[in-house]
Amino acid sequence: MIGIIVFLLGLMVSIGLHEIGHLLPAKRFGVKVTQYMIGFGPTMWSWRRGETEYGVKWIPFGGYIRMIGMLPPRPTDDPTKVRSVATGPWQGLIENAREVALEEVRPGDENRVFYRKPWWQKVIIMSGGPAMNFVLAFVLFAIVIMGFGVPVLKPVVSGMTKCVIPYSESLKPGRTCTEADPPTPAAQAGVKPGDKIVAFDGVPVSTWEEATKKIRANGAGPVTIGIVRDGRPQTLNVTLISQDRPAVDDPKKIEKNVGFLGVAPTQVMEKQSFGYVVGHMVELTGRVAESLVNLPEKMVGVWNAAFSGEERDPNGPVGVVGAGRIGGEIAASAAPTENKFVALLSLLAGFNLAIGVFNLIPLLPLDGGHIAGGLWEGLKRAFARVTRRPEPAHVDIAKVLPLTYALAFTMIILFGLLLYADLVNPVRLTG
């Protein structure tokens, strides 16, 4: 429960900061903001400061700010022509949405509505929320990476495999060494825990990745391995064998007939630089974006896990409830307190990064839809200036409301499926 509560509190802070990312530039550019709310549903408590009501609602799975005039009014009809009346169901929804968007506009607010602001101000206002999530994710990752460090594999032997077991047999539960299994090349050569690998066949190596790459690329055959044992350099003659091994960058892939020594590296925590944090953020952002592209395929797996009992993909999507349960498992684990703290910070950082990327999808009702609308308006006005045409009207995003309703309905279904799967078959850190 402690882990779940800590994660939910962190999530609410993240939501609050996301909305502040919208609120501050909106007020700076003169848009009238009537509400700033964390959560949905009935109001738990609120207070008013100036023209804005600030508050917290009972369902802590989101938040919003209410800006007046998000949608432009219907363009004035030409009085010389017969007034056109649209009677389609979608048109009725669009006109109703226009009325709702303008019902809070009072006399004197004409220049404080969102739709009348310059396109670049709209883009800044709507980008502020996702930007705040990216900043928060970066800060949390920086605390973890620069303050506590990340696991780094060192070319120092921490242990050895005693015998050679074919990879296909090593996957069988309870498979251990028998008298029929030959010793590994490391055991035959006299490698000991604590030995530091410094050279391979006369070529210096400084990292475990370098050593692994050279061992695998060599294949079977005799080689010399330079080590440092108890502070003294030594050279060992080793006869490598070929084995099928999981790929270093993707354990699900199997590399055939690669060189095999039979040693395990030492893992240490090393603090990294600011540049490492930047690279980490860039890499994770790309992976999150790729996951969103593959979301339909991933949701099929979530459906099968929810209703067919299949195992949940640990790298698949999880909802707020699932992430909260992971936070609970972290807090309930037997790991040291520092490790739990780092894991919870990393979980919250990753969730903020995912929220930021998700909100940039250029579809309404997401922030990215409004950003796309603002950019399109800026492009149209730039084109009009270049071609010396009259300035075009504000982009009418109300016209895409049918797509917005369809997307909102789809999101509700997806979030509902994630919620159900997180309850009946959650992603677990341990089996």
DSSP string, 186-221: HHHHT--TTPEEEEETTEE--SHHHHHHHHHHH-SE
Work out the burial of residue 147: count CB atoms within 10 Å of its CB; fewer than 13 is exposed, 13-18 middle, 19 or more buried.
exposed
Cis peptide, bond prior to residue 60, ω within 30 of zero: no
Could you give the maximum distance between any two Cα atoms of the chain, in Å?
Answer: 100
Are 349 and 146 spatial neighbours (Cβ–Cβ below 8 Å)? Answer: no
274-293 and 119-142 helices, crossing angle to 10°: 120
CA–CA distance from 21 to each of 25, 30, 64 (Å)?
7, 15, 11
To the query of whether residue 103 is one of the catalytic residues in this protein, the response is no
Residue carrying structure tokens 């207070």: 47
CA distance 301 to 295: 10
CA distance 147 to 157: 26
CA distance 150 to 345: 13
Q: Which residues are catalytic?
A: 19
